[in-house]
Structure 1
Amino acid sequence: MQQLNLPAYDYKIKHSAGSSLIFDFIRRKYVTLTPEEWVRQHFINFLVRHLQYPKSLLAIERGTTYNQLAKRTDLCVYGTSGHPVMLVECKAAGVTISAATVKQASVYNQQIRARYVVLTNGLQHYCWEVNFQTKEYKPLEIIPPFSELELNL
């Protein structure tokens, strides 16, 4: 797998029935290692170990609906109140973060209503703070640590 612009960590990989699997410490099981999963696992590690996001407040591939279609979010972070505070959309390192990617995340967020939206391909990371009253997305220079996220709610 490709080296990412995220901190390295001691991941666990195993091989079974011709497939590579990576251990997901949030779901506590091995999952198929795809290029997108590689990015997601590194990003989760970054949030938990470097920005102090409680792993108990992370939900992976949680279902949502949009226009009566079932969709899955890559990663949703909940605040201590139980409401979504950050939506994270992960792409494989070879996938460019484009206007279509931004639109996909913002469409999902219309239903979820998280205050922060993050897009990452493991090499580039974009974060916006959403104001639902003015319908504006304010770009942020950094992904806020969990302590700041909770303060701004």
Structure 2
Amino acid sequence: MQNLNFPSFNFRFKNSENKVSIFDEIRKKFIILTPEEWVRQHTVQFLLQHKNYPKSYLNVEKLIKLNDVNKRYDIVVFQPNGELFLLIECKAPEVKITQDTFDQIARYNLKLKAQYLMVTNGLNHYFCQMDFENEKYVFLEELPDFINKTL
């Protein structure tokens, strides 16, 4: 798999029926390794190891219903009170991050109401804080660490 713009992490892999899988410690199972999954797993490890988010606050690839259409978000981080803190959209490295990508995460966030957003293709990362009052997002240099905020 391609090198990504993340620190180096140790992953568990297995090979079955000529398909490589990677262990997802949030879902607690092996997942077929696709380019998007490679980005997703790096993002999860980044949140756990570098931003100090507790594993129990993360959720990966869950179904949401938007206008009667089933969609899946990539990663969310909850607050202790159950509210959504962070919504993340992962794309494969070859997928360019465009306005369409931001429109997609914004549509998801109309329903989910996360305070922060992250969009990544593993090479480029974009971090935003929501300004719900003015219906816009403000770009940030990086995500807040868990220790430095009240989740």
Query: TM class by shorter-chain length?
Result: over 0.9
Q: Corresponding residue for 1:123?
A: 123
Secondary structure at 2:129's aligned position in 1?
Answer: strand
8 A Cα contact 1:96 1:121, kept in partner: yes
Secondary structure at 1:150's aligned position in 2?
Answer: coil
Q: TM-score by structure 1 length? A: 0.95
Distance in 1 (alpha carbons) for counterparts of 2:76 and 2:124: 19
What is the percentage of aligned positions where both structures have the same residue? 42
1:1-153 equivalent positions in 2, closer than 5 A: 1-150=1-150
What's the CA shift string for 1:68-89, capped at 9, x where partnerless? 1111100011011111110000
Deviation at 1:54, TM superposition (A): 0.5
Change over 3 Å in CA distance of 1:143–1:130 after alignment to 2: same
Aligned length: 151
Deviation at 1:149, TM superposition (A): 4.4
Structure 1, unaligned stretches of length 5 or more? none
8 A Cα contact 1:62 1:76, kept in partner: no
Change over 3 Å in CA distance of 1:44–1:108 after alignment to 2: same
Structure 1 counterpart of 2:83, which letter?
Answer: H
Distance in 2 (alpha carbons) for counterparts of 1:46 and 1:75: 12
Deviation at 1:106, TM superposition (A): 0.5
Distance in 2 (alpha carbons) for counterparts of 1:15 and 1:72: 26
RMSD: 1.0
What's the CA shift string for 1:86-142, capped at 9, x where partnerless? 000000111111010110000000000001010001111001100112102110011
Secondary structure at 1:146's aligned position in 2?
Answer: coil
Deviation at 1:148, TM superposition (A): 3.6
Distance in 2 (alpha carbons) for counterparts of 1:14 and 1:5: 24
**Which 4+ residue blocks in structure 1 deviate beyond 6 angstroms?**
none
Secondary structure at 1:60's aligned position in 2?
Answer: strand
